[in-house]
Amino acid sequence: MSQHPSPVGPLSGTEVPRYAGPSTFARLPRVDQVEKVDVAVIGAPFDTGVSYRPGARFGPAHIRQSSRLLRPYNSAQDVSPFAALQVADAGDMVINPFDIEEAIGQVREQAAPYVDNGTRLVTLGGDHTLALPLLRTVTLEHGPVAVLHFDAHLDTWDTYFGAPYTHGTPFRRASEEGLVDHSASMHVGIRGPLYDRADLEDDAAAGFRILSSRQFARDSLDGLIERMLDRLGDRPVYVSIDIDVLDPAHAPGTGTPEAGGLTSRELLEMIRALPPRNVVGADVVEVSPAYDHAELTGIAASHVVYELISAMALTHGKATS
The helix (H) or strand (E) run that includes residue 285 is: strand 279-285
DSSP string, 225-274: HHHHHHHHTTS-EEEEEEGGGB-TTT---BSS--SS-B-HHHHHHHHHT-
The DSSP call for residue 302 is H
Q: Judge whether 9 lies within some domain.
A: no
| 10 lies in some domain | no
pLDDT of residue 316: 82
Task: Examine residue 86 and state whether it is found in any structural domain, yes or no.
Answer: yes
pLDDT digits (tens, 9 = 90+) for 169-226: 999 999 999 999 999 999 999 999 999 999 999 999 999 999 999 999 999 999 999 9
Judge whether 1 lies within some domain. Answer: no
> Does 22 map to a domain?
no
Residues sharing a CB contact under 8 Å with residue 290, sequence separation 6 or more, in sequence order = 55, 58, 253
| Residues 49, 160: Cα–Cα separation, whole Å | 10
Q: Say how many Å lie between the first and final Cα of the chain, rounded.
A: 24
Distance (Å) of CA 271 to CA 57, 68, 116: 25, 21, 25
Q: Is the dihedral of CA 96, 102, 103, 107 positive or negative?
A: negative
CATH of the domain at 150: 3.40.800.10
Provide the 3-class DSSP secondary structure of residue 211: strand
| 43, 45, 50, 52 alpha-carbon torsion, rounded to 10° | 110
- pLDDT value, residue 43: 98
Do residues 46 and 95 lie in contact, with contact meaning Cβ atoms separated by under 8 Å?
yes
CA distances to 12, 49, 75, 85, 145 from 72, rounded to whole Å, are: 9, 35, 10, 12, 30
Domain that holds residue 74: 34-314
Residue 7 belongs to some domain of the structure? no
Task: Provide the domain count of the chain.
Answer: 1
From the first residue on, what is the mean pLDDT of each consecutive set of 10 residues in the chain (321 residues)? 74 91 96 97 98 97 98 97 98 98 98 96 98 98 97 97 97 98 98 94 97 97 98 98 98 98 98 97 98 97 98 78 40
Residue 59, classed as helix, strand or coil, is helix
Does residue 196 fall inside a structural domain? Answer: yes
C-alpha–C-alpha distance, residues 196 and 201, integer Å: 10
Q: Residue 321: what pLDDT? A: 40
pLDDT for 317:
67
Residue 29 lies in a domain: no
